Amino acid sequence: MTRNIVISGGGTGIGLATAQMFAADGDRVLLLGRRAEVLEKAGVPGSVTCAADLTRPADVRRVAEFVARELGTVDVLVHSAGGAGGQHPPAGADDPLEQVAHAWTDNFRLNTLTAALLTEALKDRLAEPGGRVLFLSSIAAYRGSGSGAYAASKAALHPYAHDLARQLGPHGITVNVVAPGYIEDTEFFGAGPAPERRAQLIAETSTGRAGIPGDVAATLHWLASPAAAHVTSQIIQVNGGAERGH
Ligand SMILES: NC(=O)c1ccc[n+]([C@@H]2O[C@H](COP(=O)([O-])OP(=O)(O)OC[C@H]3O[C@@H](n4cnc5c(N)ncnc54)[C@H](OP(=O)(O)O)[C@@H]3O)[C@@H](O)[C@H]2O)c1
Residue 86 has pLDDT above 90, yes or no: no
Question: Is the pTM higher than 0.95?
Answer: yes
To the query of whether residue 160 is one of the catalytic residues in this protein, the response is: no
Share of the chain above pLDDT 70, in %: 100
- Which H or E element spans position 31? strand 28-33
Residues whose beta carbon lies within 6 Å of some atom of ligand 1 = 8-9, 11-15, 32-35, 38, 53-55, 80-83, 110, 114, 136, 138, 180, 182-183, 186-188
- Ligand 1 center to residue 85 CA distance, Å? 10
Residue 123 has pLDDT above 80, yes or no: yes
The pLDDT of residue 200 is: 97
Question: Phi-psi bin for 208: left (phi > 0), alpha (psi -120 to 50), beta?
Answer: left
Cβ atoms 13, 33 nearer than 8 A: no
Integer Cα distance of 187 and 233 in angstroms: 28
The residue type at 223:
L
The pLDDT of residue 87 is: 79
Q: Predicted confidence band at 89 (pLDDT cuts at 50, 70, 90)?
A: confident
Q: What tens digit of pLDDT does each residue of 16-43 get?
A: 999 999 999 999 999 999 999 999 999 9
Q: Predicted confidence band at 204 (pLDDT cuts at 50, 70, 90)?
A: very high
Long-range contacts of 60-63 (CB under 8 A, 24+ apart): 60/117, 60/118, 60/121, 61/121, 63/32, 63/118, 63/121, 63/122
Q: Predicted confidence band at 224 (pLDDT cuts at 50, 70, 90)?
A: very high
The residue type at 130:
G
